[in-house]
């Protein structure tokens, strides 16, 4: 099978915001305790943070991490996590039916974020709380000093403001599983007034307002229209959440779900632009896809967990090779929409539906999905180019005309480098890809593939057999790049191009 790709320096989708490669840590399961924090582990530093986990987070080059939730957020009192540890209360976490010790709170997490070279996407509780707690948290984190909350921060050991710039206004408030679930009207009014108060404290911050928690919610579209009618002029991003599964063991249908993700993004962007037109606004609202991943492997085990324990083993999906292929396509989809999607968070980062797993008394290790995430984060830098792909398609029960080749091209202007990410979704055939471009291609820098694995192959604590390897079959002839992609493969090709005068 053949595929023809055409790109041009003049056809730019948008500048890629590095925050599109963000992630998410929630106080649930073993994400925090036994994940990032475990004082009795042999690799832990003096602050109790696992160094093996920190090294893997740095390998992923994660630019921003959403915290502290998630469903956990809607019952969380941020004040429980400040001050002396011995005086912090233990609380029931109703979201995940566990005990929260508050051993890790705001100061500890901010210290960990600094060590992992990431920014923080802080979230405020609009489930059980509201305007007052949110504005106080902004003051505590970002105000210089001389007020009650900023001086309390100093008394708790942090003299300089944290200067957190990105903030989420609650979590999945459209969901009836959420503590403090609200109608669109109720949430829209609360988010509007909370946003105003938070920006009165610090007008440099950016705010993410809750969109629908999935495209399948019965209130999708109506929720966005109502919430944005209240908040459009006060917020900077609208959130999207979406998870996919392969419960029916239908590989073709599973790999097609990135097309559904693309339609979701474009629909939400159109809703935002409808409100923009209605309000006659000059502002274009951007998107934050702040929860996305494959999620389903661990559902039965999670449901069987004994409640009211500390750091229970929940949502610990073990990802296989087919999951890595869809995650690769989902990353390509985010990049195809880089003009509107400026923040995205792979949910989550450690142990809970995560690329990084830990053993209680052993090592941290890389899941299959670690690698597409890592490669895009490291090399998907610069401008996303409109990538025209001529390739045969297939139909599934739900989605028609699914291209067998998923592809995006990135131009790193500073490095004079083109980066091509592809997923071959065909189960039997190689796809010979020909790239036609007005760039002058000088040489191949690197070419890797994840291919030839059984679709159910997994990595584990003792062996990680699924990872990218060097790709053969790359050639350049008369400025025409040829790439042979194997069936069911994730591929990255980096090429040097001549500097533009």
Quick: pLDDT tens for 316-359: 999 999 999 999 999 999 999 999 999 999 999 999 999 999 99
Query: Where would I find the H helices in 102-183?
Result: 106-115, 131-142, 148-155
Q: State the chain's mean pLDDT as an integer.
A: 97
CA 424-429-433 angle, to 5 degrees, is: 55
Asked if 173 contacts 134 with a C-beta cutoff of 8 angstroms, the reply is no
Burial of 132-152, coded b for 16+ CB within 10 Å and e otherwise, reads: ebbbbbbbbbbbeeeeebbeb
Residues in the chain: 501
Catalytic-labelled residue, pool 108, 172, 192, 316: 172
State how far the Cα of 76 lies from the Cα of 338, in Å rounded to an integer: 33
Query: CA-CA distance, 410 to 191, in Å (whole number)?
Result: 36
Helices (H), 337-470: 370-379
Determine what percent of the chain is predicted with pLDDT higher than 70. Answer: 100
Q: What is the pLDDT of residue 304?
A: 87
500, pLDDT greater than 80? no
Mean pLDDT of 44-60: 98
- The whole-angstrom separation of Cα 256 and Cα 443 is 33
pLDDT confidence of residue 303: 86
For residue 236, pLDDT over 70 is answered with yes
Residue 488 CA, chain-centre distance (Å), reads 23
pLDDT digits (tens, 9 = 90+) for 151-210: 999 999 999 999 999 999 999 999 999 999 999 999 999 999 999 999 999 999 999 999
pLDDT (tens digit per residue) in 420-446: 999 999 999 999 999 999 999 999 999
Residue 444 to residue 481: CA distance in whole angstroms: 9
**pTM for the complete prediction?**
0.97
- Which position among 291, 316, 322, 417 bears the catalytic label? 291
The DSSP annotation for 169-230 comes to: E-S-TT-TTSTT---HHHHHHHHHHHHHHHHHH-TT-EEEE---SSTT-TTTTHHHHHHHHH
Q: What angle do CA 339, 340, 341 make, to 5 degrees?
A: 110
pLDDT at 425: 98
pLDDT of residue 450: 98
Task: Determine the Cα–Cα distance for residues 277 and 172; give it in Å rounded to an integer.
Answer: 26
Report the pLDDT value the prediction gives residue 84, as an integer from 0 to 100. Answer: 97
CA distances from 41 to 35, 38, 45, 105, 428 (A): 10, 6, 9, 19, 45
* Cα maximum dimension of the chain: 70
Residue 248 burial (10 A CB sphere; 0-12, 13-18, 19+):
exposed
Q: CA–CA separation, 241 vs 26, rounded Å?
A: 15
The question of whether 316 is a catalytic residue gets the answer no
Q: How confident is the model at residue 402 (pLDDT cuts 50, 70, 90)?
A: very high
Q: What would the two tokens of residue 24 be?
A: 């998410």
Nearest to 346 by CA among 303, 317, 387, 305: 317
Q: Which residues pair with 120 in a beta bridge?
A: 65
Of 358, 328, 232, nearest to 285 by C-alpha is 232
What pLDDT does residue 473 have? 85
Do 191 and 169 contact (CB within 8 A), yes or no? Answer: yes
Q: What is the average pLDDT across 403-423?
A: 97
Would you call 432 a catalytic residue per the annotation? no
For residue 403, give both structure tokens: 């291209």
Neighbours of 475 (CB within 10 A): 10
pLDDT 10s digits, 64-116: 999 999 999 999 999 999 999 999 999 999 999 999 999 999 999 999 999 99
Contact 243, 294 (CB under 8 A): yes
Contacts 24+ apart (CB under 8 A), 90-96: 92/308, 93/27, 93/28, 94/179, 95/28, 95/69, 95/70, 95/71, 95/179, 96/28, 96/29, 96/71, 96/72, 96/312, 96/314
Answer whether residue 33 shows pLDDT above 90. yes
* Percentage of the chain exceeding pLDDT 90: 98
Secondary structure element (H or E) that encloses residue 328, with its range? helix 321-336
Cα(25)–Cα(31) distance, integer angstroms:
6
Q: Which two tokens stand for residue 126?
A: 């609009």
Give exposure, 159-174, as e/b (b: 16+ Cβ within 10 Å): eebbebebbbbbbbbb
Sign of CA dihedral 136, 175, 208, 95: positive
Q: Tokens standing for 353? A: 């539906």
Question: Is residue 197 classed exposed, middle or buried when 0-12, 13-18 and 19+ CB atoms within 10 A define those classes?
Answer: middle
């Amino acid at each position: 099978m053949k595929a023809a790709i055409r790109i041009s320096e003049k056809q730019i989708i948008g500048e890629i915001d590095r925050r599109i490669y963000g992630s998410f840590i929630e106080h649930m399961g073993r994400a925090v305790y036994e994940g990032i924090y475990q004082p009795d582990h042999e690799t832990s530093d003096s602050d109790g943070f696992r160094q093996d986990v920190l090294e893997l987070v740095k390998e992923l080059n994660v630019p921003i991490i959403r915290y502290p939730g998630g469903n956990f957020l809607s019952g969380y009192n941020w004040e429980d996590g400040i001050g002396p540890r011995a005086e912090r209360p233990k609380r029931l976490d109703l979201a995940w039916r566990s005990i929260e010790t508050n051993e890790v709170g705001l100061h500890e997490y901010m210290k960990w974020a600094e060590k992992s070279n990431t920014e923080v996407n802080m979230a405020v509780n609009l489930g059980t709380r509201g305007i007052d707690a949110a504005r106080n948290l902004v003051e505590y984190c970002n105000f210089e000093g001389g007020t009650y909350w900023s001086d309390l921060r100093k008394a708790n050991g942090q003299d300089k403001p944290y200067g957190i710039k990105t903030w989420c206004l609650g979590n999945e408030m459209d969901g009836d599983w959420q503590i403090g679930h609200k109608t669109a009207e109720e949430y829209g009014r609360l988010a509007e007034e909370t946003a105003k108060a938070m920006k009165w404290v610090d007008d440099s911050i950016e705010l993410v307002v809750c969109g629908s928690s999935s495209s399948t919610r019965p209130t999708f579209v109506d929720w966005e229209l109502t919430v944005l009618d209240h908040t459009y002029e006060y917020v900077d991003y609208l959130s999207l959440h979406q998870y996919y599964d392969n419960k029916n063991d239908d590989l073709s249908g599973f790999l097609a779900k990135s097309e559904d993700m693309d339609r979701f993004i474009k629909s939400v962007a159109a809703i935002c632009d409808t409100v923009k037109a209605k309000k006659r606004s000059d502002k274009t609202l951007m998107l934050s896809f702040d929860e996305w991943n494959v999620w389903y492997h661990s559902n039965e085990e999670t449901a069987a967990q004994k409640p009211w324990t500390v750091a229970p083993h929940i949502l610990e999906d073990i990802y296989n090779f087919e999951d890595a292929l869809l995650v690769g396509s989902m990353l390509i989809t985010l990049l195809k929409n880089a003009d509107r999607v400026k923040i995205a968070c792979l949910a989550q980062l450690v142990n809970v539906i995560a690329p990084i797993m830990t053993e209680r008394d052993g090592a941290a290790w890389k899941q299959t999905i670690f690698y597409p995430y890592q490669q895009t984060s490291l090399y998907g830098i610069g401008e996303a180019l409109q990538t025209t792909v001529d390739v045969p398609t297939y139909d599934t029960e739900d989605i028609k005309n699914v291209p067998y080749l998923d592809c995006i091209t990135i131009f790193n202007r500073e490095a004079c480098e083109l980066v091509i990410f592809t997923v071959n979704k065909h189960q039997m055939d190689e796809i010979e890809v020909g790239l036609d471009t007005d760039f002058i291609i000088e040489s191949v820098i690197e070419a890797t593939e994840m291919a030839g694995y059984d679709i159910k192959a997994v990595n584990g604590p003792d062996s990680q057999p699924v990872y990218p390897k060097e790709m053969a079959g790359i050639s350049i002839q008369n400025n025409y790049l040829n790439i042979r992609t194997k069936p069911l493969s994730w591929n990255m090709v980096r090429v040097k191009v001549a500097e533009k005068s």
